[in-house]
Amino acid sequence: MSLLSNRYRGGVMKCLEADHYLWRHNLNTLQALVILIYGINHTHGQSWALLGAARNIALSLGCHVEPTIFQIEPISAEERRRCWAGLRMLYTIQNTTLGILDATPIPSTVNPPLDINDNELVVGYQIPESRNGPTQMSYLLLKFDLYDLCTRICSQVFGTSRTLTYDKVQALDAEISAMREKLN
């Protein structure tokens, strides 16, 4: 598995270099970086340098802004949302691993990705609304909700103010209960 992983990573890096990813930014480059970083995280540990580069590329492409305001094709808009969501997830995982809160959160207006399967994103067809049942995106979307809740809890408990009132604890407890209900 390690040999296959190394060959894949090497091939991806060659493709990224051939695309001049350090100075020519496009969504395909960002998608490749997100997948590469995810793979590195699961085989070798953290990859802060690449993650920082990917985050800055995403910002330069405006992936943190809701794509509908750019009047982009619906599939491209959904791809941008999924890239931004993937980057947020990678950042959250790495910050959690290190036991830190994100010191530089980026204001974002982008909506979460639709809860639909990848094969429903077909050029020339209407993109369906988010589904109620499980899809290929459901796990990731639930994970985002859970990580966002964890971030709010950690910010209250370990943040700079550290004044945790009973009302704040009650509000966080209500959010935890709502999340538990959502997962059942």
Residue range 112-169, pLDDT digits in tens: 999 999 888 888 888 888 878 888 899 888 888 888 888 788 777 777 666 778 898 8
Tokens standing for residue 170? 């009650």
Rg (CA), the chain: 18
* Higher pLDDT, residue 71 or 132: 71
Report in angstroms the alpha-carbon separations of 5 from 16, 17, 35, 43, 165: 16, 18, 12, 8, 48
d(CA 81, CA 65): 9
What pTM was computed for the model? Answer: 0.83
d(CA 77, CA 57): 16
Phi then psi for residue 123, to 5 deg, are -60, 135
Cα diameter, the chain: 56
Which residues contact residue 50 at a Cβ distance below 8 angstroms, ignoring those fewer than 6 apart?
33, 36, 37, 40
